[in-house]
Amino acid sequence: MKKLLLLFLLFSWAGSPIWAADPPKLNGQWAGLLQVPGGKLKLIITLVPLSNGSYYAALDAPQQRISRMPATATVKGADITVSIEQAGSRFVGKVLKNGATLQGTWSQPGLKGSLTLTRLAAPKPAAVAGKPRLTKPYREEEVSFYNKQAQLRLAGTLTTPAGPGPFPAVVLLSDSGPHDRDVTEQDYRLFGSLADQLTRRGIAVLRFDDRGVGQSQGSHFNTTTADVVSDAQAALLFLRTRRLLDARYLGLLGHGEGANVALLAAAEPAPATAPAFVVALAPYGVPGRDIIQRQQLEIMRLIGSNPAQVKAALALNQEMIRIIRQTPNDNQARGKVAGLLRYHNTDLDPHMARARAVQLTSPWSRYFLDFDPVRTLPAVKCPVLLLGGTTDLQVATSQNLPPLKKGLRNSATTALRLPGVNHWFQPEMKDWPVVNGEQQPVFSPKALTEIREWVFSKTERPQPVATGAGEPLKKQLVKGSGGKVSR
């Protein structure tokens, strides 16, 4: 049977088990150039070991604007297989030089060729390359706090502005997938950059490693969106113990799934763990299964799928969703999903099909398929800032911001669409700064301005001048899909 593109896009899951007793430890990103008709295509594979002994894996193809496409990774001794079902692609190779190189064969519909992937160096510290690192104009402290409900400890970094305070503060909550406290993606640190910029401008920031990542305890694989709410609440309780922070103005700032976590926390009635305000970057406004369908269409357009492939892949996706939602028993659901995957892709290894089925029936996946983000919104009473980028291919603003704005009817809500900003809140590449002759990704100045000014408008205090980061940027108003923005 002709192989179909299997485009069931879920952001985050654990990979399949590691079979060897002592395989090489793979943690980081590997990049290489694939020879394709008309040139070369840069591919980047991310591997993150999880606390349960499995791997989180993802694919980036910057030239095709593909970011964090989920993958399944298996390692057995020196053998590695990375399967990207969404693109009908696979990398099979060897782990060489103690993990420094992955060498093998890349195959996808209509193309097969050799591929060598080399481990990328860790991102450089947030300082100008080639110059001495300057002392940061704010306090920075390694901290940990305890989530009593989940009975685990989370580790992170607290940055506090210089001066006597008290200061407003935000807790940063990451998107789906296992992330470190900086949300490190190649040369870009979304949360590391955002924390630095906000703290320079008078707002304290707490960012922390996700469960099972870095120095935080817990398991990423068994965690759902609802579970992470207790992490956000524990972080707010911790901030209330810090004397330099203003307990009246402690908020949550979430990205993607983290934005919905922030809104769920704001809907809880307990005053001690309720945020004073919420900043939601690229939040979901429709059920998870609808998000997946939209993401499929966007990615299929990028990889040039024809109408027949689109129709077949969407039908397969809908059938898998139906099976998972109607089959509560995990073993039964996994057997059915694995069988369906192999039926539509006869080249798929049974172990890979089973591993994929395990991912799709994980606690996170099951919760996400049924998650309706607007259900609890009427209970949110604190002010909310909704921000989305017009070039976000993962969470389309036109689809997600309107239902959120409507659902937050009991909250003072501002909803903004930022032109040229993508899911990772980067501006268009032409607007990236050049460092040592190379463009470097940066958090959108427009988004930063909106966040800073909105937060200070809710704290009833004047905005301080940015410390060591230039003059405050001019405020920029943008229009939403339905006309003027609400402020």
Indicate the helix (H) or strand (E) that contains 319: helix 307-326
pLDDT digits (tens, 9 = 90+) for 175-189: 988 899 999 877 789
Query: Quick one: pLDDT at residue 466?
Result: 60
Query: Quick one: pLDDT at residue 476?
Result: 31
**Which structure tokens are listed for 213?**
């990542």
Instruction: Report which of 383, 226, 225, 368 is spatially closest to residue 286, judged by C-alpha positions.
Output: 368
d(CA 154, CA 425): 25
Indicate the helix (H) or strand (E) that contains 68: strand 66-76
d(CA 89, CA 66): 14
pTM of structure = 0.76
- Secondary structure (DSSP) of 127-187: S-TTSPPPPPSEEEEEEEEEETTTTEEEEEEEEEESSS--EEEEEEE--SS---TT-EETT
pLDDT digits (tens, 9 = 90+) for 383-432: 999 999 998 888 889 999 999 999 999 999 999 999 999 999 999 888 88
**Which structure tokens are listed for 269?**
């009635």
Query: Quick one: pLDDT at residue 287?
Result: 92
**Farthest-apart Cα atoms in the chain, separation:** 69
Do residues 372 and 256 make contact, with C-beta atoms less than 8 angstroms apart? Answer: no
- CATH architecture of structural domain 138-283+374-458: 3-Layer(aba) Sandwich (3.40)
Across the strands, what pairs with 418?
Answer: 389
- Secondary structure (DSSP) of 368-401: HHH--TTTTGGG--S-EEEEEETT-SSS-HHHHH
Instruction: Report which of 257, 259, 230, 269 is spatially closest to residue 170, judged by C-alpha positions.
Output: 259
Do residues 267 and 377 make contact, with C-beta atoms less than 8 angstroms apart? Answer: yes
> How many residues in the chain?
487
**How do 278-281 and 245-255 pair as beta strands?**
parallel
- The burial class, CB within 10 Å (0-12 / 13-18 / 19+), for 73 is buried
- The burial class, CB within 10 Å (0-12 / 13-18 / 19+), for 91 is buried
d(CA 413, CA 430): 31
Tokens 């976000």 correspond to 392
Do residues 95 and 75 make contact, with C-beta atoms less than 8 angstroms apart? Answer: yes
CATH 3.40.50.2000 applies to domain 28-121+289-368: no
Query: Quick one: pLDDT at residue 479?
Result: 32
d(CA 288, CA 368): 5
d(CA 152, CA 143): 14
Q: How many angstroms separate the Cα of 455 from the Cα of each of 73, 137, 170, 422, 473?
A: 41, 21, 9, 22, 15
Along the 487 residues of the chain, how does pLDDT read in single tens digits? 333 333 333 333 333 333 333 456 788 888 898 887 767 888 888 887 765 566 778 888 776 657 677 787 888 888 888 887 666 678 888 998 888 899 999 887 667 889 999 988 765 544 433 444 567 899 999 999 999 999 999 999 999 999 988 999 999 999 988 899 999 877 789 999 999 999 999 999 999 999 988 899 998 878 889 999 999 999 999 999 999 999 999 999 999 999 999 999 999 988 888 999 999 999 999 998 888 877 777 767 666 677 787 788 788 888 999 999 999 999 999 999 989 988 887 777 787 788 788 888 888 889 999 999 999 999 999 999 999 999 888 888 999 999 999 999 999 999 999 999 999 999 988 888 888 777 888 999 999 999 999 999 988 766 666 665 443 333 333 333 333 333 3
Q: What are phi and psi of 204, to 5 degrees?
A: -70, 150
d(CA 348, CA 354): 10
d(CA 13, CA 137): 38
CB-CB neighbours of 152 under 10 Å? 17
Structural domain spans, the chain: 28-121+289-368, 138-283+374-458
